[in-house]
């Protein structure tokens, strides 16, 4: 089983590329942001719990995320692979992911990071706010989300560098160019 983590700050294009990679390789795309947004729009107890945190651009608790991912792994096996988009976002989540995969005899196969300038990230997120009407894409909340990324998620770079799993890809350019660069790095 190939377990790919698509890594990068909000607005780097993880979602767009994750869909394309999952389609090409026949893997299951898991976006924790999409899972949480679906819970919010359905008004489930979990959705009600996380709505204010998400609207403010903060991170939902590790405990909830790990619970969600446990059920993802249980409900989707067997698959040929996963493309994880938006998870893990903290060291704690990364360690728990290793533990969950190991329980099923698997490991993280590769972490591909999309490198995008901060100015470009903000511009993309503001555009997405207009196009998709996402509540967490206002200027104030975007700032918060980038702070969360720098504070909680960036330390994962060292975690995966240590494991020799981390690889960067330039995330500026056309969607197709970036996609082919990503594909060229994925060695099955
Ligand atoms: P995303 O669509 O990946 O940008 O996620 C949207 C929002 O969902 C984030 O700003 C967080 O509030 C929440 N979220 C998604 N994934 C995670 C995660 N792995 N850990 C904590 N919060 C998350």
Please give the tally of structural domains in the chain: 1
Of the candidates 31, 26, 24, which has an alpha carbon nearest to the alpha carbon of residue 6? 31
Of the candidates 29, 24, 22, 27, which has an alpha carbon nearest to the alpha carbon of residue 1? 27
Of the candidates 30, 7, 110, which has an alpha carbon nearest to the alpha carbon of residue 76? 30
pLDDT in the model for residue 15: 96
Residue 137 DSSP one-character state: G
For a pocket test of ligand 1, which of 36, 56, 124, 152 has the largest count of ligand atoms closer than 8 A to its C-beta?
36
Give the mean pLDDT of the chain: 95
Residue 71's domain is classified under what CATH number? 3.40.50.300
From the candidates 124, 145, 154, 163, which is the catalytic residue?
145
Contact 50 CB / ligand 1 (< 6 Å): no
pLDDT in tens, 73-122: 889 868 999 999 999 999 999 999 999 999 989 999 999 999 999 999 99
Q: Structure pTM?
A: 0.95
Q: Which domain holds residue 26?
A: 2-187
Contact 125 CB / ligand 1 (< 6 Å): no
pLDDT in tens, 112-164: 999 999 999 999 999 888 888 777 888 889 999 999 999 999 999 999 999 99
Contact 56 CB / ligand 1 (< 6 Å): no
**Full 3-state SS string of 75-102:** HHCCCCEEEEECCCCCHHHHHHHHHHHH
Buried b (16+ CB within 10 A) or exposed e, 67-81: ebbeebbeeeeeeeb
User: How far is it, in rounded angstroms, from Cα 109 to Cα 82?
Assistant: 10
Contact 37 CB / ligand 1 (< 6 Å): no
User: How far is it, in rounded angstroms, from Cα 147 to Cα 115?
Assistant: 16
């Amino acid at each position: 089983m190939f377990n790919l983590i698509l890594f990068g700050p909000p607005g780097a294009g993880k979602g767009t590329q994750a869909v394309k990679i999952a389609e090409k390789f026949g893997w299951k795309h898991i976006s924790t942001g999409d899972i949480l947004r679906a819970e919010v729009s359905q008004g489930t107890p979990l959705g009600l719990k996380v709505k204010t945190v998400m609207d403010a651009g903060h991170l939902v608790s590790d405990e909830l995320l790990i619970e969600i991912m446990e059920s993802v792994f249980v409900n989707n096996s067997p698959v040929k692979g996963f493309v994880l988009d938006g998870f893990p976002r903290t060291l704690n989540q990364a360690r728990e992911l290793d533990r969950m995969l190991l329980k099923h005899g698997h490991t993280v196969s590769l972490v591909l990071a999309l490198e995008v300038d901060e100015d470009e990230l903000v511009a993309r997120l503001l555009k997405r706010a207009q196009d998709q009407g996402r509540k967490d894409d206002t200027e104030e909340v975007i700032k918060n989300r980038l702070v969360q990324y720098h504070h909680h998620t960036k330390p994962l770079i060292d975690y995966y560098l240590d494991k020799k799993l981390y690889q960067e890809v330039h995330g500026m350019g056309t969607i197709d160019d970036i996609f082919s660069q990503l594909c060229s790095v994925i060695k099955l």
